[in-house]
Amino acid sequence: MSLHRRAYVDPVFTRAFAREPNPFCQSCHAPDADPLNPVPPAVAELGVSCISCHRIDDVILTGTRGTATAPHTLRRSASFEGPEACAGCHEFDFPGRRGEPMQLTIREHASSRFATTSCSECHMPIVENERGRHRSHRFDASSDPAVLRSAVEVKARRIAHEWVEVELSPALVGHAFPTGDLFRRLAVEAEVLDDDGDVAGMDVKFLGRRFADERESGAHPTRRMIADDRVGARGEQPVLVHLDLGPRATGRRVTWRVMYERVELP
């Protein structure tokens, strides 16, 4: 089942949506439902369906490269092959706050070294099965460990007895990493164990977008981004993370790791 198909029933989303049932969220996670009313179970299971992206009025939209015939009208569009096709749900501001981006994947892509590579080249690779050769619609990304590993090049070095420096650089990724919603981050962690196998020193730093809550008179609180230290947020410039393991780390072996996380709250 694709990530789009799971958009409304994904457990992480459903828990977050239960805390903040904003109709604004439904417009992307269940775009075929009425955003002002509860989503019917049958529609919820569809999440982002085929017609969510491919239908405009009564016309089916597709790219220009295909040659297959269809029993209905097709509108071939070059823009459907580029980032514009994804922008509706991957580039938008906080509701009611123009100029305060909630997601900005498309502009991240435009400033990356993969700006001339379409989103589909990476997220919809060519596959071959009983249907012949076609682009995969699984939209594998954060759900695929191999894709995650290929996104970032990581180097770690010990710069003192108790200090470790971890360097993270963009690899095969055409946007900041992690991209997307507010709940994604990288955890960069290192630790040392004593002779009994207990933790003798440990430190962790988180890379992501950071926000401050603001409340205007009589309005709901909104979030304003105040910092962004994600990999690729500053182009190709590496991100350096320094971890302090404490004096007990002297002479002991260090274990480090980088973990992709989705958290319940920002």
Average pLDDT for residues 179-206, to the nearest whole number? 94
Q: Is the pLDDT of residue 70 over 80?
A: no
**198: which 2 tokens?**
């207990």
* Digit-coded pLDDT (tens) for 170-190: 999 999 999 998 889 999 999
Q: What is the pTM for the complete model shown? A: 0.88
Q: Is the pLDDT of residue 75 over 90?
A: no
Give the percent of the chain with pLDDT over 70: 95
Average pLDDT for residues 103-125, to the nearest whole number? 94
Q: Is the pLDDT of residue 79 over 90?
A: no
Average pLDDT for residues 212-219, to the nearest whole number? 67
Burial classification of residue 100, based on how many CB atoms lie within 10 Å of its CB (0-12 exposed, 13-18 middle, 19 or more buried): middle
For residues 1 and 103, give the distance between their C-alpha atoms in angstroms, rounded to a whole number.
24
Write down the pLDDT at residue 216. Answer: 62
Length of the chain: 266
Write down the pLDDT at residue 163. Answer: 97
Q: Is the pLDDT of residue 222 over 80?
A: no
For residues 141 and 175, give the distance between their C-alpha atoms in angstroms, rounded to a whole number.
12
Q: DSSP of 167-188, one letter per residue? A: EEEE-S-SS-BS-SSTTEEEEE
**119: which 2 tokens?**
């989103």
* Digit-coded pLDDT (tens) for 26-44: 999 999 998 888 899 999 8
